[in-house]
């Protein structure tokens, strides 16, 4: 990043700002106005001082506002992250503010737990139907033997069911049930009784209709308020909203709710190193108050409460999942565009492709972890 004095001299767009950006890009394999699909095509010179001042926040905002374009944002981001620009972006003012805020306040407290539902998941079920496809599963698919997104999501549900040993009559808790895809699968195909919780009113309404004829109860509820006992607990793509200050409370809740010989499966995106907060642009425009756990944070919070039986990493599958979601969104946009602004399309396109690039660069990971309460005998995890 340029010094404060240098940034002050960039108040008006000009060639000096462009030269500084070119210097940052040097060696990354990404060029300005180049011929390759991952090169940035800059439409407005105001882009240069903006990205120098505001780092990743400015980069995302400038894209949504149309100041630049790129055919392969996914590959552009992957190359920039491999070049180390993600770590330099962590020094932006906005990133430092988010870190300080996360240190001083519990951004995922009970009173704030429903913010992400209101800001993101309640945008409109038709938008997510267009993007996610028939499964409406908003988490990483399992592409080991799958050729399509729907096959990958079914394979993920099957993998979860096999790891948990789902059987008729089991009482299953789904923490962060989304639009009810896994709850429906467990009830319909394995005869389970399912309680699913979400912090999104739109998700809850959709999941209740989806599972209306099945032994499934969908609740609008925070995980800290749960009571009862469950044979199996599963949580897919929700732990990213828990926050480091609440990891202990989360695992204590799981321990309290899990039957003596039960199993708990957690699927989460993970960070290579402990971090406070997420990318400033994602925090402001996509997922407010999120935080990706590191492996040490996750295990440190669980190790005195639960036994880890299995750990599987398949982050490359999230790259493919995100790319499939982006293709779906583009195909659905002619119908969605009548209701949603172009800024919404560009926001989701940038989010999906930037995250795909981050997984491709191995900057972030995807983990599926199985825990028990010192269950007797050997646990053999299926793959």
> pLDDT tens-digit profile of 27-65?
999 999 999 999 999 999 999 999 999 999 999 999 999
Q: What residues are paired with 219 via a beta bridge?
A: 197
pLDDT attached to residue 86: 73
> Is residue 355 annotated as part of the catalytic site, yes or no?
yes
Indicate which residue of 140, 177, 211, 355 is catalytic. Answer: 355
pLDDT given for residue 4 in this prediction: 47
CA distances from 216 to 171, 195, 227, 262 (A): 10, 6, 16, 19
Q: How confident is the model at residue 377 (pLDDT cuts 50, 70, 90)?
A: confident
Question: What band does 87 get if pLDDT is binned at 50, 70 and 90?
Answer: low
What is the mean pLDDT of the segment spanning 239-267?
96
pLDDT digits (tens, 9 = 90+) for 182-217: 999 999 999 999 999 999 999 999 999 999 999 999
What pLDDT, on the 0 to 100 scale, is given for residue 103?
46
Domain layout of the chain by residue ranges: 4-91, 110-372
- Sign of the Cα torsion 124, 130, 132, 135 reads positive
Reported as half-sphere exposure (CB side, CA atoms, 13 A), residue 86 has a value of: 22
Pairing of strands 258-271, 364-372: antiparallel
User: What does residue 224 show for φ and ψ, rounded to 5 degrees?
Assistant: -70, -15
Distance CA 130, CA 133 (A): 6
Do the Cβ atoms of 322 and 355 come closer than 8 Å?
yes
pLDDT digits (tens, 9 = 90+) for 134-171: 999 999 999 999 999 999 999 999 999 999 999 999 99
Structure-model confidence comparison of residues 292 and 115, the more confident one? 292
302/239 Cα distance (integer angstroms): 13
Segment 85-104 shows an average pLDDT of 50
Could you confirm whether domain 110-372 is CATH 3.40.50.150? Answer: yes
Above 60 in pLDDT, residue 13? no
Q: What is the pTM of this model?
A: 0.90
Q: Could you write out the DSSP letters of every residue in 242-258?
A: T-GGGHHHHHHHHHHHE
Confidence band, pLDDT 50/70/90 cuts, at residue 81? very high
Average pLDDT over every residue of 270-290:
89
User: What average pLDDT does the segment 226-232 reach?
Assistant: 98
Could you give the 3-state DSSP secondary structure of residue 266? strand
Alpha-carbon distance of 279 to 347, in angstroms, equals: 14
């Amino acid at each position: 990043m340029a010094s404060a004095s240098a940034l002050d001299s960039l108040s008006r767009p000009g060639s000096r700002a462009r030269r500084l950006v070119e210097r940052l890009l040097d060696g990354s394999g990404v060029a300005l106005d180049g011929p390759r699909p991952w090169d940035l095509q800059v439409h407005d010179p105001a882009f240069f001082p903006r990205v120098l001042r505001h780092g990743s926040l400015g980069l995302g905002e400038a894209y949504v506002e149309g100041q630049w374009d790129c055919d392969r944002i996914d590959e552009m981001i992957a190359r920039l992250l491999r070049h180390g620009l993600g770590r330099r972006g962590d020094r932006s003012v906005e990133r430092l503010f988010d870190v300080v805020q996360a240190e001083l306040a519990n951004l995922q407290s009970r009173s704030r737990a429903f913010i992400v539902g209101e800001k993101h998941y309640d945008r409109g079920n038709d938008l997510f139907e267009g993007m996610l496809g028939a499964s409406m599963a908003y988490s990483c698919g399992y592409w080991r033997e799958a050729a399509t997104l729907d096959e990958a999501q079914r394979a993920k549900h099957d993998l979860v069911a096999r790891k948990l040993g789902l059987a008729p009559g089991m009482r299953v808790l789904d923490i962060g049930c989304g639009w009810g895809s896994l709850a429906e699968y467990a009830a319909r195909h394995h005869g389970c009784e399912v309680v699913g919780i979400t912090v999104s009113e739109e998700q809850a309404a959709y999941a209740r209709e989806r599972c209306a004829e099945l032994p499934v109860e969908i609740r609008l509820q925070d995980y800290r308020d749960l009571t009862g006992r469950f044979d199996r607990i599963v949580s897919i793509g929700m732990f990213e909203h828990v926050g480091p200050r609440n990891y202990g409370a989360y695992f204590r809740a799981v321990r309290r709710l899990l039957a003596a010989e039960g199993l708990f499966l957690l699927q989460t995106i993970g960070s290579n190193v402990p971090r406070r907060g997420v990318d400033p642009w994602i925090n402001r425009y996509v997922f407010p108050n999120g935080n990706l756990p590191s492996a040490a944070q996750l295990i440190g919070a669980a190790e005195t409460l639960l036994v880890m039986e299995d750990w599987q990493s398949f982050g490359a599958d999230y790259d493919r999942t995100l790319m499939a979601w982006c293709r779906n969104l583009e195909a659905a946009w002619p119908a969605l565009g009548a209701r949603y602004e172009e800024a919404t399309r560009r926001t989701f396109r940038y989010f999906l492709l930037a995250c795909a690039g981050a997984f491709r660069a191995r900057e972030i990971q995807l983990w599926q972890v199985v825990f028990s309460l010192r269950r007797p005998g050997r646990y053999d995890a299926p793959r």
